[in-house]
Amino acid sequence: MPREKRKELLKKIEGKRGTKVIAYVTSDRIGLQALIQHDIVPIVHEHILSLPEEDRRKLDLFIYSRGGSADVPWALVSMFREYCQKGSFSVLIPFRAHSAATVIALGADEILMTKKGELGPIDATMSGGPYNPREEKTSNPLPVSVEDVTGYFALLERFGCERPDEKMRGFEQLTAKVHPLALGAVSRLLEETKLVGLRLLSTRANPFREKENHEIIRKLSSEVYSHNHAISRTEASRYLGLKQVRNAEDAAIDSELWELYVEYRSLFELESPFQPEAHLVANNLEEHSWDDLNVACVESVNRLDICRKSLKVKRLRNVPPTLNLNLSDIHFPGVNIASLPAGVTPQQMNAMIQQVVQGVMQPILNQAAQKAVDVLIKSLPQKGFEVVTYKAGWVTEN
C-alpha cells in the first residue's frame, strides 16, 4: 500500500538521522498546482504534537514545493524552533524546493540535498490582484514579476538612460501599462521576502556573519534573473555561500529521499498533466467532473493530512437569449369515432384519448425536445470553459 510504503521510508530516514521527519508536499502537476499557504502551519503543528515530547527535539522537514506565500516561512520555521533543541532543525530536499520553500530552507541548521535537489530565487511575483494588468481577451490578471520590472530598468540604463529625468520618463511609460500600486505591491513583497530570509538565516544555531547573510539574500533576490532557475547544491554552497548545505549521500539517506519523492510523485500524478478542457474536447463532452484530486499533503509516521479538491468543467456556448422551447401547452386534436360503446359520449371518448396520449406522448416529446436542444447547443460556437471548484479542503487520514 502506498501509505505503508511512505511510512516505511520515513522510518528509515528517521532511523539513520536519529530524528522525526514531517513531509510537506504541494503539487506542481501541470494544470493542478498548489502553493504553500497559511493553512499549513496549524496542520504541521498537529503533527509535532502527535510526537512524544522527547521526540520533538530533533525534527526534519522533508519538502517538495514550487513556492507560495511569503508570510508562511517565518511562521513555520519559528514554530519548529520552539520545539527543537538548538541546532536540531533540518530541511530535506529530494528535488524541488523553490521560492518560499527556499526561504524555509534558509532557516534550517542544515539543508540536505540529493544530487537532483534544487533551490530557487526568492524574487517576488504578484500573480493576481485588483491592480494587475489584464489579459485582453479573457480579462484574467497577468502576473507582475520583479525580474521583469528590474530588467526593464536595467535595459533603460544599457541604452543610456541614466539621468533622473530619463529614468522618470521610463517609469511613466511603465506605469501607463502597469498600475503604480501593482508595482508598489511587488516591491513591498520583495522587501518582505528579503527581510524574512535575513531573519531566518539569523535563527540558525551557528549563524553566518551579518555581511554573509546580506550577500546570500542579495544573490537569491536579484542576481538570478530567471524565476525558474534551478540552484543546485553545488551552486548553493559555493556561489550563494549557504555553508549549511550537505550532500544527502553523506548522511546515507539519498536513496530514501528520492524513493519517498517518487511515492509522492505517484500520489499526485506529477508527471501527468491535468487537462480537463482537452478531455472534454477529446471525448466530445459538454461537461465533466473530477472528484477528490490530491493537491497537497503533510505526512509523518503517525498521521497523514491531505488536501483535495473537486472540479467541474463545462463548455460555454454562445446561446441566443431568445432560445426557448416549451411543449407543456400542446393540445392534441379531437378524434371522431363513428361507433361508440353504449353510454359513452364523443366528449368522454376524446377526454380519455387526450389523457392517454398526453400521459404517453408528452414525456416522449419532452425527451425528444431536450435532445434537440442539446444537439442545437452543441452546434453553437464555443466561447470558452467554466471551471467550478467544490469540496476543497484538508482531511485527516490514518
Residues 115, 240 within the same domain = yes
State which amino acid sits at residue 214.
Answer: H
SS3 per-residue string spanning the chain = CHHHHHHHHHHHHHHHHCCEEEEEEECEECCEECCECCCHHHHHHHHHHCCCHHHHCCEEEEEEECCECCCHHHHHHHHHHHHCCCCCEEEEECCEECCHHHHHHHCCCEEEECCCCEECCCCCEECCCCCCCECCCCCCECCEEHHHHHHHHHHHHHCCCCCHHHHHHHHHHHHCCCCHHHHHHHHHHHHHHHHHHHHHHHCCCCCCCHHHHHHHHHHHHHHCCCCCCCECHHHHHHCCCCCCEEEHHHHCCHHHHHHHHHHHHHHCCCCCCCCHHHHHHHCCCCEEEEEEEEEEEEECCCCEEEEEEEEEEEEEECCCCCCCCCCCCCCCCCCCCCCCCCCCCHHHHHHHHHHHHHHHHHHHHHHHHHHHHHHHHHHCCEEEEEEEEEEEEEEEEC
Distant-in-sequence, close-in-space partners of 95: CB < 8 Å, separation ≥ 6: 64, 114, 116, 117, 118, 258, 261
Task: Judge if 115 and 8 occupy the same domain.
Answer: yes
Contacts 24+ apart (CB under 8 A), 253-256: 253/12, 253/13, 253/16, 253/17, 253/92, 253/112, 254/114, 254/115, 256/9, 256/12, 256/13, 256/16
320 contacts: CB under 8 Å, gap ≥ 6: none
The verdict on 338 and 301 lying in the same domain is no
Amino acid symbol at 185? A
For residues 170-197, average pLDDT: 75
343 and 302 within one domain: no
Residues 297/279, Cβ–Cβ less than 8 Å? no
Verify that 304 and 323 share a domain, yes or no: no
Least confident segment among 112-116, 185-189, 282-286, 393-397: 185-189
Q: Is residue 98 part of a domain?
A: yes
In terms of domains, do 254 and 344 share one? no
CA–CA gap between residue 10 and residue 62 (Å, rounded):
10
d(CA 127, CA 68) in angstroms, rounded, equals 10
Do residues 304 and 344 share a domain? no
Statement to judge: residues 116 and 240 lie in one domain: yes
Task: Average the pLDDT over 329-355 and give the result.
Answer: 65
pTM of the predicted model as reported, rounded to 2 decimal places? 0.79
CA distance 360 to 317: 33
Domain identity same for 113 and 248 = yes
Q: Taking a C-beta distance cutoff of 8 angstroms, is the pair 102, 233 a contact?
A: no
Q: Is 7 a domain residue?
A: yes
* Higher per-residue pLDDT: 279 or 352: 279
- With respect to residue 37, please indicate whether it lies within any of the assigned structural domains: yes
The per-residue pLDDT for range 228-240, each reduced to its tens digit, is 789 999 999 999 9
- At residue 373, the pLDDT reads 58
CB 152 within 8 A of CB 170: yes
pLDDT tens track for 374-387: 665 565 566 778 88
Residue 63: pLDDT band (50, 70, 90) is very high
pLDDT at residue 331, as a whole number? 58
Q: Which amino acid is at 311?
A: L
Give me the domain span that covers residue 373: 319-380
Question: Does residue 255 form part of some domain?
Answer: yes
Q: Are residues 18 and 101 in the same domain?
A: yes
> Is 344 part of a structural domain of the chain?
yes
Q: Could you give the number of structural domains in the chain? A: 2
CATH of the domain at 252: 3.90.226
Q: Is residue 89 part of a domain?
A: yes
Is residue 328 predicted with pLDDT exceeding 60?
no
| Range with top average pLDDT, 21-30, 145-154, 282-291 | 21-30
Same domain, 241 and 369: no
Average pLDDT, whole number, for the chain? 84
Residue 260 has pLDDT above 60, yes or no: yes
